[in-house]
């Protein structure tokens, strides 16, 4: 095992550049991915495609909060880090192009671990058509951290925001929101249980969220989606953000949102409510979307063809800021957003 | 005083967005700075200028390494963070456009401190024509950190890299390299002395490095510069990087590089050699450039008109990797690069 302390910063950087795939270090015609100057200079140079806007997001993972050594191998961590940023571009219906990865790491960290994180990160981006073009390496005292900036592009007019939803639009989600949070709950309170095969679907949702980039771009072409947000705070919290930006309210309807047997089982084991797990803090990196009812059949067809779970869970209302849960018995109750707050 | 723990993540984000200047949160025609969707959505949307390449850099500051509370006020810290990234774009002769700022901060941190960092950061970028378009906020256990990605643009063909230097080119620097490292040396070994007014020029070089963006763009138009790097590791270390990329060697000539009285004084006080302070680890964020001798008069004129100290310090040679110091007595000795290594 080589620690970063043994290799030093510059040899580690050389290995990380290799783990990102070959890129030009000297100016020339852009590569297929639009890279003119890759990692290794003061900055990278890329060539954007004419007529498209750039879409830029940044997101950080902190050890102990966003990942737990022992519960995720380094390559999977790199993949998850990529997917957490890809989901922000998916929520804008953008195409991923270029990323930077800055890391604050302990000098005692195994260099092979770092290369595996970088390799998983680069591979997950590559699968969605994006390249790692730069980074930064510094020592961390205390918890380690990973910070990504991801740049994509979009055809002006096709970009999704949080602010376009209208009363009467339907609310839809991809995947199985709440599973990632349920996995974290199991790990925290029942770590021995959590490794059991029966919980694997929850652990996978947490460890290896899927990319929704292709689905989002196909849905954007359908024109049916009026607003979108990625699910990183949980359905309740992110629905609150979307409603605030759009100036609308929402109701989630238990009569149309089919229950998730995995969430039901986790709720029973944890002694918590299934509704709480579905709405509460959970970083699923799935999409929450407002859908024009007239476009719903098209949207459902697109999702089916893409093989992505897609469920209508409620609708938007004309009562700004009011979020309600409609039970199977039609009883209404308020949803408390309850976003994960890093400072509370 | 409001701590982040008191305000919570989302109120803090609202304040930081305000401290970055007003930007559109909903799509519309781009602002003067090319911003279509500003901070507050899943990602920002910007419109690049046709016919220019994008130039992208990322850099992080870690508390205790890149800044010391008590030695720099938060607004100045934000300025310095901006300048550290602006210098990477200056080294590519690029024009700054858009930046993101991700922060890992203690829940005990005063919110006013954070707003001042963000405000200083945004103001320094604004002075060079760039806007803060997004960010991320997370809690840090252990040392706090700040991570920037800065995006600029450049006319293809005018971009500088580290790899264009040729034997016979002259070596030039802006400012007074080594002063920042000398200041850190004084703070570390003689903290009471370091606050004395006689050391103020060193402290200023460390706290408040100047932007070399305008100078770099003017020099790029002159066509005299063949390669460039920003000085963040020290002259010896960064000269090593430039020579490695260009496949050349270099000699720094004490007969033409005028001595710096502030460095001489600091060396005497610290019991170290002035040469060591000029060449060793120092994050001055100045420029080190290779200059075509035929273009030197033009380059000197451009620097004089810009009011920026500009000094020729040596020349590049045909001996790859060989870095030499030529003393006032013409004696030659090897320069050990000695970059600051975060892991050693």
A148-182 per-position pLDDT tens digit = 999 999 999 899 999 999 999 999 999 999 999 99
Q: Examine domains B4-154 and B170-334 and report if their fold is the same.
A: no
Strand partners, A95: A153
Is residue B24 pLDDT above 60, yes or no? no
The model carries a pTM of 0.95
DSSP per residue over B106-174, as a string?
-TTSBHHHHHHHHHHHHHHHHHTT-EEEEEEEEE-SBS-EEEEEEEEEE-TT----SS---TT-EEEEE
User: Tell me, what's the pLDDT at A340?
Assistant: 65
Residue A307: strand, helix, or coil: coil
Nearest residue in A to B237, CA atom: A10
Pairing verdict, β B332-334 and B249-253: unpaired
Nearest residue in B to A108, CA atom: B343
User: Tell me, what's the pLDDT at B8?
Assistant: 87
User: Tell me, what's the pLDDT at A336?
Assistant: 78
User: Tell me, what's the pLDDT at A138?
Assistant: 94
DSSP per residue over A165-188, as a string?
--TTPEEEEES-TTHHHHHHHHHH
Of the candidate CATH numbers 1.10.600.10, 3.30.420.40, 3.30.1330.10, 3.20.20.220, the domain formed by A4-29+50-154 belongs to: 3.30.1330.10
Query: Which residue from B41, B133, B135 is facing A161, i.e. has the nearest CB?
Result: B41
Q: Does the B4-154 domain belong in CATH 3.40.630.30?
A: no
Two tokens, residue B126: 């604004």
State the nearest Cα–Cα gap between B248 and chain A, in angstroms: 15
Residue B57 to residue A43, Cβ atoms within 8 A: yes
Region B111-138: mean pLDDT is 96
Class of the B170-334 domain? alpha beta
State the nearest Cα–Cα gap between A196 and chain B, in angstroms: 31
Is residue B137 pLDDT above 80, yes or no? yes
Helix (H) or strand (E) holding A104: strand A95-105
Number of other residues whose CB lies within 10 A of the CB of residue A186: 22
* Phi-psi label, residue A136: left if phi above 0, alpha if psi -120 to 50, beta otherwise: beta
Counting one residue from chain A and one from chain B, the pairs whose CB atoms sit within 8 A come to 248
With contact defined as beta carbons under 8 Å apart, do B163 and A26 qualify? Answer: yes
Burial class (CB in 10 A: 0-12, 13-18, 19+), A95: buried
| Contacts A344 to B, Cβ<8 Å | 5, 8-9
Per residue in A240-257, pLDDT (tens digit) is 999 999 999 999 999 999
Nearest residue in B to A57, CA atom: B43
Two tokens, residue B202: 């060193």
Q: Which residues of chain A have pLDDT under 70?
A: 21-27, 337-340
What is chain B's Cα-based Rg?
A: 21
| Contacts B145 to A, Cβ<8 Å | 104, 138, 140, 145
Domain borders along chain A are: 4-29+50-154, 170-334
DSSP per residue over B276-301, as a string?
HHHHSS----EEEEEE-GGGHHHHHH
Chosen from B41, B140, B155, B337 to mutate, greatest number of chain A CBs within 10 A: B41
| Contacts A151 to B, Cβ<8 Å | 54, 56, 151
Residue A54 to residue B41, Cβ atoms within 8 A: no
Region B139-159: mean pLDDT is 94
* Phi-psi label, residue A25: left if phi above 0, alpha if psi -120 to 50, beta otherwise: alpha
User: Tell me, what's the pLDDT at A301?
Assistant: 97
Region B256-274: mean pLDDT is 96
**Rounded Cα gap, residues B196 and A50, in angstroms:** 55
**Rounded Cα gap, residues A89 and A121, in angstroms:** 16
> ipTM more than 0.90?
yes
Region B40-46: mean pLDDT is 94
Region B99-116: mean pLDDT is 96
DSSP designation for B59? E
End-to-end CA distance of chain A: 38
Residue B344 to residue A55, Cβ atoms within 8 A: no
What does the mean pLDDT of chain B come to? 94
Chosen from B4, B8, B25, B42 to mutate, greatest number of chain A CBs within 10 A: B42
Residue A280: strand, helix, or coil: coil
């Amino acid at each position: 095992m080589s620690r970063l302390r043994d290799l030093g910063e510059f040899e580690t950087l050389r290995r990380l550049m290799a783990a990102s795939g070959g890129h030009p270090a000297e100016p020339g015609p852009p590569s297929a991915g639009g890279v003119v100057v890759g990692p290794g200079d003061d900055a990278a140079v890329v060539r954007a495609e004419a007529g498209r806007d750039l879409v830029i997001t940044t997101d950080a993972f902190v050890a102990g909060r966003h990942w737990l050594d022992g519960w995720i191998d380094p390559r999977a961590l790199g993949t998850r880090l990529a997917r957490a940023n890809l989901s922000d571009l998916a929520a804008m219906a953008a195409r991923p192009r270029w990323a930077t990865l800055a890391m604050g790491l302990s000098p005692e960290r195994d260099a092979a671990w770092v290369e595996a994180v970088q390799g998983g990160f680069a591979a997950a981006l590559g699968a969605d058509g994006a390249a790692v073009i730069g980074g930064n390496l510094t020592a961390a005292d205390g918890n380690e951290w990973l910070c990504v900036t991801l740049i994509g592009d979009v055809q002006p007019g096709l970009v999704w925001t949080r602010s376009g939803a209208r009363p009467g639009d339907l609310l839809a989600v991809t995947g199985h929101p709440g599973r990632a949070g349920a996995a974290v709950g199991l790990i925290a309170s029942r770590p021995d249980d959590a490794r059991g095969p029966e919980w694997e679907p929850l652990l996978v949702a947490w460890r290896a969220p899927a990319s929704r980039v292709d689905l989002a771009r196909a849905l954007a072409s359908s024109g049916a989606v009026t607003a979108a947000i990625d699910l990183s705070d949980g359905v309740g919290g992110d629905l609150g953000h979307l409603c605030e930006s759009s100036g609308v309210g929402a109701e989630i309807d238990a009569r149309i949102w089919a229950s998730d047997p995995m969430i039901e089982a986790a709720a029973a084991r944890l002694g918590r409510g299934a509704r709480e797990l579905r709405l509460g803090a959970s970083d699923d990196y799935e999409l929450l979307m407002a859908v024009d009812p007239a476009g719903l059949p098209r949207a459902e067809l697109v999702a089916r063809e893409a093989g992505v779970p897609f469920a209508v869970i409620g609708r938007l209302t004309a009562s700004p800021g009011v979020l309600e849960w409609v039970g199977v018995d039609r009883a209404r109750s308020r949803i408390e957003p309850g976003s994960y707050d890093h400072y509370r």
